Amino acid sequence: MTSFSAPGKKLLNPRSKQGPRARPPGRREAGPPSPCPAVASAPTLTPVRAAGGAERGGAGRSGAGRARSGRGKERSGAAARRSGMAARGSAGDGALRRAAEQWLLWDQNPKTYAIVKQLLAEGNVGELQKYFGSRMEFGTAGLRAAMGAGISHMNDLTIIQTTQGFCRYLEKNFSDLKKRGVVIGFDARAHLSSGGSSKRFARLAANTFISQGVPVYLFSDIIPTPFVPYTVTHLKLCAGIMVTASHNPKQDNGYKVYWENGAQIISPHDKGISQAIEQNQEPWPQAWDDKLIDSSPLLHDPYALVNKEYFKDIQKQCFYRNINKETNLKFVHTSVHGVGHKFVQLAFKAFDLSPPFAVPEQKDPDPDFPTVKYPNPEEGKGVLTLSFALAEKDGARIILANDPDADRLAVAEKQESGEWKVFSGNELGALLGWWIFTCWKNNSRDTHAIKDVYMLSSTVSSKILRAIALKEGFHFEETLTGFKWMGNRAKQLMDQGKAVLFAFEEAIGYMCCPAVLDKDGVSAAVITAEMASFLATRNLSLSQQLKAVYDEYGFHITKASYFICHDPKVIQQLFDNLRNFDGKNTYPKSCGRFKVSGIRDLTTGYDSSQPDQKAILPTSKSSQMITFTFANGGVATMRTSGTEPKIKYYSELCAPPGNSDVEQLKKELDELVNALEKHFFQPEKNKLQRQTDAT
């Protein structure tokens, strides 16, 4: 790999906790190697610090890659030197130019350097605003943005800055950081025009830690995201980093962070890391010299060990090896141009299952994702076209589809009619929850142990696990949206001696193995395959078993969609109206003909079902989220998106066992959703754009 080091470049003290030293006015550092010469001269810079405001950890808010903007006070002295390349709010041309000139002092990737240098020469304010108008914000989901030049994008320099801040934050929190170390993994994403790739970003991050004497366990090849949290706990490391944008469009990349407990970070770590990043933006000595990666005794490759130990651990979830060996059921697998192919093949081998047929056009990693518009199996049949064709050709009945970093799983099954059914995340969650509990019950030697068994799901997911728990006697808990909450809660329960068998979210994420405290599409795929193989011996399909689960525990019919609104004031007013529906501080008592029996507002902290009327789940005033429970057993949650101009809703009708009139239940849920849209959303009045493709 090319080293972009600049000989003789004077940078800050690598051990400094106070940020970079001041540079004398008019002095600049060496630029990148030819063909990108340094700017002939640079004015005295007065950088403007990027706005704060990491994710609050509240209801439904994503922390990945949201841009910060707004104009703030220009800093002087040490605070100004910290970096501040972003301007707050409406950045003036001068601030943008200063930010770009500061970038040229620090950036040594010839491609991104050349882009910015050209924009400065052209005086292209519009493009400079795109690259320097706002800085990526580090939240509980880390970073996620398009690859490219500038502080708004994922690139070599922003990776170095982010890792420097993360390193300093870990030093403050772990006195044994230099003994334990961190793990870093990456997927197969790459961006030719900016020279960025997941592998290069991972190496630069590793280089940053090693330059500070911190051991780094850097995977030598692409891996599924679940391997990083697994490695954190298996090797007892301080933290983990996965460079991936999961199922985002091809131009994106991300920087996902795990804490020592093996779960994604939650607040206040996001705020602390964000502040440390702002204080450590000037590249440290040797930041660009990746020769450290190849020669340092602090570098370790966990690839072989983790490949061995991970599959040994998920084998503990294999209960029907003899059936697996003999099954005639055929499976198709697609990794959607991501990393999953090799690892799902190994998982099938670990369970003594014949390998699934791999979709040839999609099995190998390809950062261009050439056969799909969106590399997200949650999109359903549009992503599975090639899988359907291969399954028809080879006589396979079940399709397993991972997203590009293999932490999610979609499943489709051929019906007797010849049609293909793509299971929703809630439906597969119901099947896996039933299966994993059944396997535990059939193999548990202590029937009293059920009092220590737990399952989890997010608050916008189906409550089918609650219904199973009520009948079977184990515990169910819901958390805020996202596996960062389920993973951390699972670890708390496990530390108390509880057994967390399963957790899921409606967005096709499943935690089937306690060795990984995050969603894991590899273990979910092979466990689904074993479940299907077992059911086949009883002449049952997955669809038939799903109906049996609903027959026993009650049908749970779900429907979700969203409205688009680009005016934050309209969104705020919509939710304010719900909180003052029949006068000040009064929520709706009904929605059309449906009587409201309970309200939980995770923005204000109100919960009518609690004795003190205070919500148990964490609350956040920075996002909107209200859940309505109805007397007919329906539940509807309305929430804003943290990354898109959307107001989402999730609805479910939970029927008691014995009510098997599915069509009537669907009709009733449709009526409830129509009433919700008419009376609560009021799309015509609020000029909301409807999403017609409800899921």
Q: Which residues contact 174 (CB under 8 A, 6 or more apart)?
A: 180, 238, 260
Residue 67, CB-side half-sphere exposure with 13 Å CA sphere: 20
Query: Residue 379: which residues within 8 A CB-CB, separation 6 or more?
Result: none
Of the listed 83, 152, 197, 246, which one is catalytic?
Answer: 246
Distance CA 354, CA 176 (A): 45
| CB contact set of 160 (below 8 Å; sequence gap of 6+) | 204, 205, 208, 283, 287, 288
- How many helices (DSSP H) and strands (DSSP E) are in the chain? 22, 27
Distance CA 631, CA 618 (A): 25
Pairing mode, if any, of strands 646-654 and 634-640?
antiparallel
Helix 425-443 × helix 464-472 angle, to 10°: 20
Structure tokens at 456: 């989890």
Burial of 324 (0-12, 13-18, 19+ CB in 10 A): buried
Report the 10 Å Cβ neighbour count for 584: 6
Helix (H, G, I), strand (E, B) or coil at 614: strand
Residue 308 CB neighbour total at 10 angstroms: 10
Q: Which residues contact 269 (CB under 8 A, 6 or more apart)?
A: 140, 169, 257, 259
Integer Cα distance of 421 and 672 in angstroms: 25
- DSSP symbol at 679: I
DSSP state letter for 114: H
Contact 323/533 with Cβ under 8 angstroms?
yes
CA 10 to chain centre: 38
Show the tokens assigned to 245.
């944008």
Measure CA 364 to chain center.
23
Which of 202, 208, 183 has the alpha carbon at shortest distance from 306?
A: 183
Determine the Cα–Cα distance for residues 367 and 198; give it in Å rounded to an integer: 10
Look at the chain and count its residues.
695
Residue 320 Cα distances to 160, 161, 277, 317, 529, angstroms = 47, 49, 49, 9, 11
Q: What type of residue is 476?
A: F
**Cα gap 625→647, rounded to integer Å:** 10
| Cα angle: 619, vertex 278, 71; to 5 degrees | 80
Of 337, 422, 334, 330, which Cα lies nearest the Cα of 371? 337
Cα 5 to Cα 9, 27, 191, 202, 296, distances in angstroms:
8, 19, 21, 17, 17
Whether 622 sits among the annotated catalytic residues: the reply is no
At residue 495's C-alpha, the angle toward residues 489 and 496, to 5°, is 95
| 574, amino acid identity | L
* SS3 state at 562: strand
In order of 147, 202, 510, the CA distances from 196 in angstroms are 7, 10, 30
Specify whether the CB–CB gap between 493 and 501 falls below 8 A. no
Catalytic residues, by residue number, are 246
